Amino acid sequence: MRAYGAVFETPYLDSELRLFDLNRPAPYRLQTDLLSGLTVALALVPEAVAFAFVAGVDPIVGLHAAFIVGLITSLFGGRPGMISGATGALAVVLVALVAEHGIEYMFAAIVLMGVLQITAGVFRLGKFIRMVPHPVMLGFVNGLAIVIFLAQLGQFKTPNAEGELQWIEGTPLATMLALVVATMAIIHFLPKLTRAVPASLAAIVGITLVTLGFGLESPTILDYLRTMTGDVEASLAGGLPSFSIPSVPHNFETLRIVFPYAAVLAAVGLIESLLTLTLVDELTETRGRGNKECVAQGAANLTCGFFGGMGGCAMIGQSMININSGGRGRTSGITAAVVLLAVVLFASPLIEMIPVAALVGVMFMVVLGTFEWSTLNVMHKVPLSDAFVVVLVSAVTVATDLAVAVFVGVIVSALVFAWKHAKVIHAISHVDENGTKVYSLRGPLFFGSCSSFLEIFEPRNDPDEVIVEFLHARVSDHSAIEAIDTLAERYLSLGKTLHLRHLSPECRKLMNKAGTMVEVNMIEDPQYHVATDALA
């Protein structure tokens, strides 16, 4: 299926699999980057306002965050073309802190969040994103697509006389749906005619002109802002961010309050940013620098904390808009940030007249391009455990947040992996010319396979001399060492001699009961480290 410039035809588990496969990776062009950045800026405005409300802060706090995070990560980040700003994933974490302790504690938490993210980048922790299995990535993509879709449904509500939001009906609903469909049609068909102008930008401008020209009654960004604030005088206009140290007590009690929030924010921000970076890598067939992105994200959030922003991270929706509009370089992100600031300072009346329906149409196309439709066709072809992980991560992403979903997905995938490999270990046994029984092990020996390992041997039925050959086995952890010691005890209690051959030096150092039974061969013995607390 083709959707928004993406092709989803490669079979699952194929070595050439890419989440998004563009027919031809678009080269960097300054003009395209500038226009793409303008498109992204228009889509960032309502998102920043909405997430500010989720966090319980003024819209200008979200707009300033979108500008600061977008500018710094575009200038110094590790993934050109990726868009960062204020996000809902962070807003849902911040709302409890703001409600209980106030906005100044939020700024303090954002500062500490930035420090933690910079530390992660300095210590090169970004590489651990490679440990995220592919089914988790698919679940992440599909879950975020659903979240983006559900977030747009709120635009189809309006307050009633009691101030409660209810679904719009009748002519307003028909008008809005028609504008949404028209926006999606422009985005889909315009690239077939010309790529001189980003389709999303053309759609937003075109639908705005049609709405104004025909006098159509459809909610605008200004209407949305005033509905959310309840202030009939509300406007996007504002000033420049100003420096201010968070007004909180500089003591251990403050640290105790903000550190848990900062740690969660840092984890959520980095996970979402690094996974989005991986997706953009797939789109552009290039490779970003994860650790550099960690440092840039941290520097951006550190700046936000001192300049009145709510913090942020990478945004998959806006990144998709940028990439599919042709944005490939840092200029696109810089343009988006600068245009966003210009809107706040000078051009708010122009942006406020844009129909919300146009932006909803753009985001619906992002949903179509983000969702990995191929998973619907291959779910019955892949292992049941992989299909379960895809569905689980998608569901947890929608129900909670991205960080929890990724952690759950990685843990479940690891447990499935351990369970499968626990049954892999086996031994080929024979009795040599001297009457000694030789067990030649095959497979990994780790915490999951220890029980299977011990069941291989028959101490009571074996001869007095037994050799365990580890040349084709891998001793992986301290549980494996304990299992070998347990095996040695069983043979010793029967008065039999056990020989352990081709065991690594690291394993021999950790042996207790079986340490004296190892046959040392300096030439053939394997050289690898066992990951245990004793070696840490």
Boundaries of every domain in the chain = 2-9+28-414, 423-535
Give residue 12's pLDDT: 37
Whether the model clears a pTM of 0.75, i.e. scores above it, the answer is no
Mean pLDDT score across all residues of the chain: 83
Q: How confident is the model at residue 46 (pLDDT cuts 50, 70, 90)?
A: confident
Burial class (CB in 10 A: 0-12, 13-18, 19+), 513: middle
Beta strands in 32-169 (DSSP E): 84-85, 157-159, 165-167
- Quick one: fold of 423-535? Transcription Regulator spoIIAA (3.30.750)
Sign, Cα dihedral of 459, 426, 525, 529: negative
Q: How confident is the model at residue 24 (pLDDT cuts 50, 70, 90)?
A: very low
Spatial separation of the C-alpha atoms in residues 531 and 474, rounded to whole Å: 12
Tell me: pLDDT of 279 over 60.
yes
Quote the distance between the C-alpha of residue 272 and its chain's center. 3
Tell me: pLDDT of 536 over 50.
no
Amino acid occupying residue 143: G
Give residue 363's pLDDT: 81
Q: How confident is the model at residue 93 (pLDDT cuts 50, 70, 90)?
A: confident
Give residue 336's pLDDT: 94
Spatial separation of the C-alpha atoms in residues 81 and 73, rounded to whole Å: 10
Q: How confident is the model at residue 414 (pLDDT cuts 50, 70, 90)?
A: confident
Share of the chain above pLDDT 90, in %: 33
Q: How confident is the model at residue 180 (pLDDT cuts 50, 70, 90)?
A: very high
